Amino acid sequence: MSVNRWLATGNFYESYKQEQRIFSTHCERAVFIVFIVALFLWPLLIKTSNTALLVLDEIMIAIIAIIGLNLVTGFAGLISIGHAAFVGIGAYTLAATSRVLGDQHVLLTHAWPLMIFLSGTAGAVFGAFVGLPAIRLKHLYLAIATLSFQMIFQWTINFMSFFNQGQTIPIARVYCFTGMVSRKDHYLFWYYTILIIVVVCGFCVRNLLRTRYGRCLVAVRDNDRAADAMGMHPGLTKVYAFSLSGFFAGIAGALHAYLYRGAGLDSFTLHHSITYLAMAIVGGLGTLAGSFFGPTAIKALDLQVEQLSEWTSVFLPAAMNLATALKPLAFGLVIVLFLIFEPRGIANWWRIIKSYIKLWPFKY
Amino acid sequence: MSYFFQLVVSGIVTGSIYALSALGFVLIYKSSRVLNIAHGQIIAGGAFITYALTVWLKIPIYLSFFISMIITFFLAMSIERIFLRRLIGEPIISIIMVTIGLMSILDGIIYLTPFGTYNLSFPDFFPKRPIIFWGISISWTRMAGVIITFILISLFSWFFKKSPIGVSMRAVSDDQMASMSVGISVPKVFGLAWAMAGMSAAAAGSIIGNITGLNFETLHAFGIAVFPVVILGGLDSIIGAVVAGIIMGLIQQFAAGYLDGNWGLNGTADVLPYIILLIILLFKPHGLFGTHEIERV
């Protein structure tokens, strides 16, 4: 009997290989492909403002960063309160190049894919370095170690004249096949570039989690002694998780610097580290889908709050800026409510919806 | 030489404030193993309550100091009851994140009040002229702050050593199961630990507010600044918090006094604690006085 690969009403796996498929049915694969194609096509069909594209670019950069954070915090179970510093290291790799070679150097403008990769590598090196304490420390102490890394990073940028004391260091526009990417096409160009990188990163991580190296992370999170007994090296695994997360963060940072055509300390502070953690939690820790939902949800919330406070500013005295108050309030409430009522995050809703559709005429 | 002693004196002043801030942090960690990242916001809240009572309601400062301690006592207790009690037994990341969420919520609430936007300062209660002996000057406010801090710290330590409630709190931090079996209500102790922490935070906030003025940014920065202190002293040791607080204060003052301006360094007082923190975490993670509970992987 051949198995119906288009629709499935339950899990009828016969081998491990079947269970580890990325798409369990052809329908799922088709929907996914249509979705990706739609993501690529819609900017060509619908005229979009640069503001909207900028928001989308920001969300996708955050998605890349969160994929990295999810690897270290969600899958390997190591709390990192210094993720913005890793993102910052990516951005400041570009900034340092721009300071040394001049911001119009060919390496920055023409070889930008190489620079993005290099930034990721720099992030990975620093990640491994920060991950070293993980060999000896657990949980709380590790969280504090990453926090202190964040503080040291901020100080280094803030007080070194090489990094312009934390002020923005300009980075030139990049050149594509057809010539320099103009101001008009800037956001669209980066929309496509970032989208491609997001898709590639997503597939890389999805596949990583199916290999022994990915399973190793989860094993060390669940019980490091058992993992040790089974021949894995927990300490090395943790360092490797950190450097992997640093790699994704570095890429996100480089993209951020290119998108804003500059790197400044304002985007890589402790506050941003906390926001990244919140995105990972709201999306759902330890799920790949969560890394996509979390940033989208938090950014959408931010925009809504901004809209609301703009709307209320008509009724309020001009000196009062409601956005500064409402933003942290809404942000904190969302974190706390998710932790109390839905600790598995939006990814859990996604799972419920998916299984509902899969089994549709039947309840379960 | 008098420069050196001046640095020592101001180091002890800063250090004692660190000690008082770290005390509340350690109390919460010791009893319920919660890393309270929102501590800085509670400190700021306490300072603002004291200011509101003194300046707006015209209550004498020493009275409003105590009233604000009582208010934060109940405030922190309700925070524990509403947010933390539901998360007992959850993984550590949830607990850290809930205090981060709490931090954000308190931030939002404080930004809704005038304190978030304006820089206010307490009226002067003490003579403006600093006390000067042997060429070392110290302002009356700082002097009073240090004295109050030491009185409060000794009161707190007495409370934990001798009073029945303090003994039961120590029992819970030692072994929750055993203390439950002898009839101690563990959740109540958690609530009480938060309440005491809130109290000490309000005291710390009022003292800092008197010394540096009421700037929300500076006040809540203390919540992060206590991390190096508590790690140096050991996360669960009250004596450690006091000793490490003073050591950290001295280190910061010496760094600011001797390192800054030389060799192109600047603002080292802000970063040195964290470098020390990393070194301690690598070589002696339980700190100077903490219990040896770290398991090596």
What ipTM does this complex have? 0.84
Q: Are residues B227 and A224, on separate chains, in Cβ contact within 8 Å? A: no
Euclidean distance between CA atoms A292 and A65, whole angstroms: 10
Which residues in chain B are contacts of A333 at CB distance < 8 A? 101, 105
Tell me how crowded residue B121 is: count the other CB atoms within 10 A of its CB: 13
Residues of B in contact with A228 (CB under 8 A): 297
Judging contacts by C-beta atoms under 8 Å, the chain A residues touching residue B38 are none
Q: Report helix, strand or coil for B257.
A: helix
Whether B192 contacts B79, CB under 8 Å: no
Distance from CA of A247 to the nearest CA of B (A): 22
Cα A216 from Cα B285, distance rounded (Å): 26
The partner residues of A169 in beta bridges, in order of sequence, read A263
What gap in Å lies between CA A89 and CA B61, rounded to an integer?
Answer: 48
Query: In Å, how far from its chain's centre is CA B159?
Result: 17
Q: Please give the single-letter amino acid code of residue B121.
A: S
The string of DSSP codes covering B29-98 is HHHH----TTHHHHHHHHHHHHHIIIIIS---HHHHHHHHHHHHHHHHHHHIIIIIGGGTTS-HHHHHHH
A331/B106 Cα distance (integer angstroms): 11
Interatomic CA distance for residues A146 and A167, integer angstroms: 24
Cβ atoms of B227 and B22 within 8 Å: the answer is no
Inspect the interface and report whether the beta carbons of A278 and B35 lie closer than 8 Å. no
**Number of inter-chain CB pairs under 8 A, A vs B:** 150
Token pair in block for residue A357? 């559709």
Chain A residues closer than 8 Å to B227 by CB? 144, 147-148
Domain boundaries in chain A? 41-268, 269-364
Cβ of A354 under 8 Å from any chain B Cβ?
A: no
Give me the residue label for tokens 């402790």: A270
Q: With a CB-CB cutoff of 8 Å, which residues 152-181 of chain A face chain B? A: 152, 155-156, 158-159
Q: Are A140 and B92 in contact (CB < 8 Å)?
A: yes
Contact residues on chain A for B274, CB-CB shorter than 8 A: 148, 151-152, 155
Direct distance between the N- and C-terminal alpha carbons of chain A, in angstroms, rounded to an integer: 24
Among the partner-chain residues A143, A144, A270, the one whose CB lies closest to the CB of B277 is A144
- Res A201: pLDDT: 92
Residue B257 placed within a domain: no
Shortest distance between the Cα of A128 and any Cα of chain B, in A, equals: 15
Low-confidence ranges of chain B (pLDDT < 50): 296-297
Which of B94, B110, B111, B259 to mutate to probe the A interface, most A CBs <10 Å? Answer: B111
Whole-number pLDDT of residue B271: 83
Q: Residue A262's beta-bridge partner residues?
A: A170
Chain A residues within an 8 Å CB radius of B83 = 336, 340
Q: What is the pLDDT of residue A1?
A: 47
* H and E: helices and strands count for chain B: 11, 2
Whole-angstrom distance, CA of residue A96 vs CA of residue A119: 11
Q: Using CA coordinates, name the residue in chain B closest to A343.
A: B94
* Cβ-contact A249, A69 below 8 angstroms: yes
B124 touches chain A (CB under 8 A): no
Distance between CA atoms of A354 and A347, rounded to whole angstroms? 10
Contact B97 A278 (CB under 8 A): yes
CB A77 within 8 A of CB A220: yes
pLDDT under 50: residue ranges of chain A: 1
H/E segment holding residue B268: helix B268-283
Classified as helix, coil or strand, B153 is helix
Measured CA distances, A20 to A16, A17, A212, B25 (Å): 6, 5, 12, 45
**Which residue is it, tokens 């700082």?**
B142
Residue B231 contacts A, CB cutoff 8 Å: yes
The token duo for A55 is 């928001």
pLDDT at residue A53, rounded to an integer: 87
Which pLDDT does position A28 carry in this prediction? 82
Residue B277, domain member (yes or no): no
Residue in the structure block whose two tokens are 């970032």 = A194
Domain membership of residue B268 (yes or no) is: no
Task: Burial-class residue A13 by CB neighbours within 10 Å (0-12, 13-18, 19+).
Answer: middle
Q: Taking CB atoms and an 8 Å cutoff, what residues of chain A touch B229?
A: none
Given a contact cutoff of 8 angstroms between Cβ atoms, the answer to whether A343 and A284 are in contact is no
Selection from A239, A243, A219 nearest residue A229 by Cα = A219
How many of the other CB atoms lie within 10 Å of CB of B254? Answer: 17
Interface test with B, best of A239, A335, A338, A344 (most B CBs within 10 A): A335
User: Is residue B6 included in any domain, yes or no?
Assistant: yes
SS (H, E, C) chain A: CCCCCCCCCCCCCCCHHHHCCCCCCHHHHHHHHHHHHHHHHHHHHCCCCHHHHHHHHHHHHHHHHHHHHHHHHHHCCCCCCCHHHHHHHHHHHHHHHHHHHCCCCHHHHCCHHHHHHHHHHHHHHHHHHHHHHHHCCCHHHHHHHHHHHHHHHHHHHHHCHHHHHHCCEECCCCEECCEECCCCCHHHHHHHHHHHHHHHHHHHHHHHCCCHHHHHHHHHHHCHHHHHHCCCCHHHHHHHHHHHHHHHHHHHHHHHHHHHCEECHHHCCHHHHHHHHHHHHHHCCCCHHHHHHHHHHHHHHHHHHHHHHHHHCCCCCCCCCHHHHHHHHHHHHHHHHHHHHCCCCHHHHHHHHHHHHHCCCCCC
Residues B17, B211: Cα–Cα separation, whole Å? 10
What is the nearest CA distance from B125 to chain A, expressed in angstroms? 31
B105 and chain A: CB distance < 8 Å anywhere? yes
Q: How does DSSP assign B157-207, residue by residue?
A: HHHHHHSHHHHHHHHHHH-HHHHHHTT--HHHHHHHHHHHHHHHHHHHHHH
State residue A10's pLDDT score.
Answer: 67
Q: Coil, strand or helix: which one is B295?
A: coil
- The letter for the amino acid at B84 is L
- Which stretch of DSSP H or E encloses residue B131? strand B131-133
What is the rounded CA–CA span in Å between residue B247 and residue B232?
9
Instruction: Find which of B30, B94, B97 to mutate to test the A interface (most A CBs within 10 Å of its CB).
Output: B97
Chain B: nearest CA to A74, how far in angstroms?
A: 10
Note the pTM of the prediction, 2 decimals.
0.88
Interface check A102 vs B, CB under 8 A:
no
Residues in A closer than 8 angstroms to B259, CB to CB, are: none
Between chains, do B109 and A343 touch, taking CB under 8 Å as contact? no
B288 in Cβ contact with B232 (< 8 Å): yes
Q: What residues contact B274, with CB distance under 8 A and at least 6 apart?
A: A148, A151, A152, A155, B228
Q: Is residue A227 within 8 Å of residue A234, measured between CB atoms?
A: yes
For β-strands A179-180 and A175-176, DSSP reports them as antiparallel
A residues 269-308 near B, CB within 8 Å? Answer: 270, 274, 277-278, 281, 285
Of A139, A144, A270, the CB nearest to B281: A144
- Between the alpha carbon of residue B96 and those of residues A48, A135, A158, B84, B90, the distances in Å are 40, 21, 27, 10, 10
Q: Cβ B35–A140 below 8 Å, yes or no?
A: yes
Question: How many angstroms separate the CA of residue B268 from the nearest CA in chain A?
Answer: 8
The SS3 call for residue B133 is: strand
Distance of alpha carbon B17 from alpha carbon B46, whole angstroms? 14
**How many domains does the structure of chain B reveal?**
1
Return phi, psi of residue A9, to 5°.
-100, 5
Q: Answer yes or no: do B108 and A235 touch at CB < 8 A.
A: no
Contact A329 B112 (CB under 8 A): yes
Domain, as residue range, for B14:
2-226
B268 burial via Cβ count (<10 Å: 0-12, 13-18, 19+)? buried
